[in-house]
Structure 1
Amino acid sequence: MEKSKNTTLIVLAFFSIYVIWGSTYLLNKIAVSELPPFMLAAIRFISAGSLIFVLCKIMGISTKISKRQLLNTTLAGFLFLSFGNGVVVWALRFVDSGFAALQISAQPLVVLLLMRILQNKKIQPMSIVGVVLGIIGIYLLVGQKEIVSQENAVWGMIMIFLCMLSWAYCSLFVAKADLPANYFVNTGYQMFLGGVILLLGSLLFGEQWSMPGDWSPKVQGAMLLLIVFGSIVAFTSFNYLLKSVSPEKVATSTYVNPIIALVLGWYFLEEQITLQSMIAAGILLTGVYFINTKKKMLLFSRFQNKGASALDTESNGKPQGFKE
């Protein structure tokens, strides 16, 4: 029963980081059209973190943490949210939401390389196939339009790439760091502290703040969805998955997010989805399968020792797709 419950939670958590996070590109694009980027992100995360602490109080969940955990959640909040998300929101002023999502789709490749460099993990064939398919799919999508179409687009792409590195590194850090055991509390601290850092950054850059009553209805709605679903639900799911499955599996969300972003762009902004887009989407999702699957490829199984599988998750808990 416990195993079935955990499986259900993992499936729901993946749905959150796949679908809900895929929608945040559109929501951020809508909100940043009127609001300064760091102000937007600061309000989003401080509000979400505060709501989480209120819910913890109501449910009787202790929010006490050690000094070490406070330091780690502050670092994670900065890498994931202050820099990793806040700067992406800034970049959305110069690149469209679909392209931002596509660029960030390279994150699983970065995670694999960082695990190789920092943890001396050997990349296995199944993961390599998945990454290659993902890159091909991204290339097909990006190749349909002019990449640099407006002023400062190059700077936007560079900063998004740095944000991607920040997320990839922090994904590995969080997987092993001493953090609050309760995923809700862990998310609350990362959200609130990351939001405070963004608030300081907004003041430092002299952004012009405004009250929610001055925002248009569409921006108010986008902010509400970002706070409740994009922050509380999806980020709690993200932290849960980082402790429950391997980091490169969690990173596969960046393959699916662009598909969601493209569909929402087509539905709400009347953006065209071409046949090439659908083909690329299929290739991207196939890449997700190859990174996630525990089944061996017949082609590579001949090179494995009899009775052993270097492609499956090892019994000692090492991430799938790697071995020492």
Structure 2
Amino acid sequence: MAKMQRNTVLVVLSFFAIYFIWGSTYLWNKIAVTELPAFMLAGIRFVIAGSLIFIISKILGFSLKITKQQFKNTILAGFLFLTFGNGVVVWALKFVDSSFAALEVSAQPLVVLIMMRLFQGKKIQPMSIVGVVLGITGIFLLVGQKDIIAQDGAILGMVLIFFCMLSWSYGSLFVGKADLPKNFFVNTGYQMFTSGISLLIISTLFGEQWSSPNTWSTPVLWSMSLLIVFGSIVTFTAFNYLLRIVSPEKVATSTYVNPIIAMILGWYFLNEDITAQSAIASVVLLTGVYFINSKKSLTIFSRFSGKRIPKNPLE
């Protein structure tokens, strides 16, 4: 795929988006889910974001025509990434702190690596083996805290997030080979819109009580707006732009930054505790992710160069 012309200002702004905005989505989701049903929240977010992407695409002259197979693949990819991968994580935030969720999700590259070994027979490089060991150790330290486990629903929240990581990781492998719309913006729009519809159907089946935006509190209105505009449209566009401009391992560095941003914001705005064990777990876990994403073991991300792979369930 031909590289686009580099624009230094756009590159800097795009890195700011995938570093700080993605890290902030944990806070925004946590605020919104305190008042709104999780599946309704995620469904409204993605239906509106997908619709806006379609409108913007038409204004920019992008064709929205896709084949039947591409449409089926966008539905499946959207389910793996957003319907299950995001929707269930948002629901899990009812039981765990946003900072805890961000740290657990940061182990996703480790899960991708193991899946590539199991399903594709990819050899795990020595640097990645070190990363796997550190990653597993970090997860053990993170989820093994008695104070956290003792909280109501905490174990359920941890398990749900883990299954969402499995869904997100398998989705990452799927899009590497799937026939999807060539235009990443259009591809994202279809995934978001179809996932949003699915989430609203799930919300109805679960009997969630829907509410009108005019009854939402000001913090929830702001959080939802930020999730739609910045957490969905801006960051996904920035991510795909960077994949075409810079090397994949540089884009993957957002994996190291997002949990730190989430921890700081959760502590500052929501008074979430950062325990010493959580801090140690974050250092160990993120060091493991670093080894997995190191240049010598780049197979996870390089094979997806030019394709859109969300790396974070709360993107």
Q: Normalised by the shorter chain, which TM-score bucket? A: 0.7 to 0.9
- Give the structure 2 partner of residue 162 of structure 1: 163
CA spacing shift, 1:245–1:68, aligned 2, 3 Å: farther
Q: Which stretch of structure 1 is more off in the superposition, 28-37 or 281-290?
A: 281-290
Match of 2:228, as an amino acid?
A: I
Using structure 2 for the length normalisation, give the TM-score: 0.83
| 1:12-52 deviation line (CA, Å, top 9, x unaligned) | 65654443222111111100000011100000000100000
- Give the structure 1 partner of residue 35 of structure 2: 34
CA spacing shift, 1:133–1:248, aligned 2, 3 Å: farther
CA spacing shift, 1:69–1:13, aligned 2, 3 Å: farther
- Give the structure 1 partner of residue 122 of structure 2: 121
Q: Which stretch of structure 1 is more off in the superposition, 150-159 or 43-52?
A: 150-159
Q: Tell me the CA shift for residue 104 of structure 1.
A: 1.8
Check the 8 A contact 1:187/1:239 in 2, yes or no: no
Check the 8 A contact 2:132/2:288 in 1, yes or no: yes
Check the 8 A contact 1:23/1:264 in 2, yes or no: yes
Taking the TM superposition and a 5 Å limit, the aligned residue runs for 1:209-248 are 209-238=210-239
Using structure 1 for the length normalisation, give the TM-score: 0.81
CA spacing shift, 1:243–1:131, aligned 2, 3 Å: farther
CA spacing shift, 1:7–1:123, aligned 2, 3 Å: farther
Match of 2:172, as an amino acid?
A: S
CA spacing shift, 1:318–1:244, aligned 2, 3 Å: farther
In 2, Cα distance between the equivalents of 1:284 and 1:9?
A: 30
Q: Tell me the CA shift for residue 233 of structure 1.
A: 2.1
Check the 8 A contact 2:88/2:164 in 1, yes or no: yes
Structure 1 unaligned blocks of 5 or more: 296-310
Q: Which stretch of structure 1 is more off in the superposition, 191-200 or 270-279?
A: 270-279
Match of 1:167, as an amino acid?
A: W
Q: Tell me the CA shift for residue 135 of structure 1.
A: 3.7
CA spacing shift, 1:186–1:12, aligned 2, 3 Å: farther
1:65 partnered with 2:59? no
Check the 8 A contact 2:4/2:245 in 1, yes or no: no
| 1:230-264 deviation line (CA, Å, top 9, x unaligned) | 11122344566789999998776554332221111
Q: Tell me the CA shift for residue 60 of structure 1.
A: 1.1
- Give the structure 2 partner of residue 98 of structure 1: 99
User: Rg bigger for which structure?
Assistant: 1
1:187 partnered with 2:188? yes
Check the 8 A contact 1:111/1:251 in 2, yes or no: no
- Give the structure 2 partner of residue 75 of structure 1: 76
Q: Tell me the CA shift for residue 154 of structure 1.
A: 2.1
- Give the structure 2 partner of residue 177 of structure 1: 178
Q: Tell me the CA shift for residue 147 of structure 1.
A: 2.7
Match of 1:222, as an amino acid?
A: S
In 2, Cα distance between the equivalents of 1:244 and 1:119?
A: 28
SS in structure 2 opposite 1:146?
A: helix
1:51 partnered with 2:52? yes
CA spacing shift, 1:122–1:95, aligned 2, 3 Å: same
Q: Which stretch of structure 1 is more off in the superposition, 211-220 or 125-134?
A: 125-134
Match of 1:259, as an amino acid?
A: I
Match of 1:154, as an amino acid?
A: I
- Give the structure 2 partner of residue 22 of structure 1: 23
Match of 1:81, as an amino acid?
A: L
Q: What RMSD, in angstroms, separates the aligned Cα atoms of the two structures?
A: 3.3
CA spacing shift, 1:126–1:12, aligned 2, 3 Å: farther
In 2, Cα distance between the equivalents of 1:55 and 1:61?
A: 9
- Give the structure 2 partner of residue 303 of structure 1: none
In 2, Cα distance between the equivalents of 1:246 and 1:110?
A: 22
Q: Tell me the CA shift for residue 175 of structure 1.
A: 1.7
CA spacing shift, 1:69–1:96, aligned 2, 3 Å: same
Q: Which stretch of structure 1 is more off in the superposition, 272-281 or 62-71?
A: 272-281
In 2, Cα distance between the equivalents of 1:82 and 1:38?
A: 9
How many residues of Structure 1 are paired with residues of Structure 2 in the alignment? 303
In 2, Cα distance between the equivalents of 1:61 and 1:219?
A: 33
CA spacing shift, 1:250–1:112, aligned 2, 3 Å: farther
Q: Tell me the CA shift for residue 134 of structure 1.
A: 3.4
- Give the structure 2 partner of residue 130 of structure 1: 131
Check the 8 A contact 1:108/1:252 in 2, yes or no: no
Match of 2:189, as an amino acid?
A: G
The share of aligned pairs that are identical, in percent, is 70
Match of 1:53, as an amino acid?
A: F
In 1, Cα distance between the equivalents of 2:247 and 2:144?
A: 31
CA spacing shift, 1:158–1:289, aligned 2, 3 Å: closer
Check the 8 A contact 1:13/1:237 in 2, yes or no: yes
Match of 2:43, as an amino acid?
A: A
In 2, Cα distance between the equivalents of 1:45 and 1:319?
A: 24
- Give the structure 2 partner of residue 301 of structure 1: none
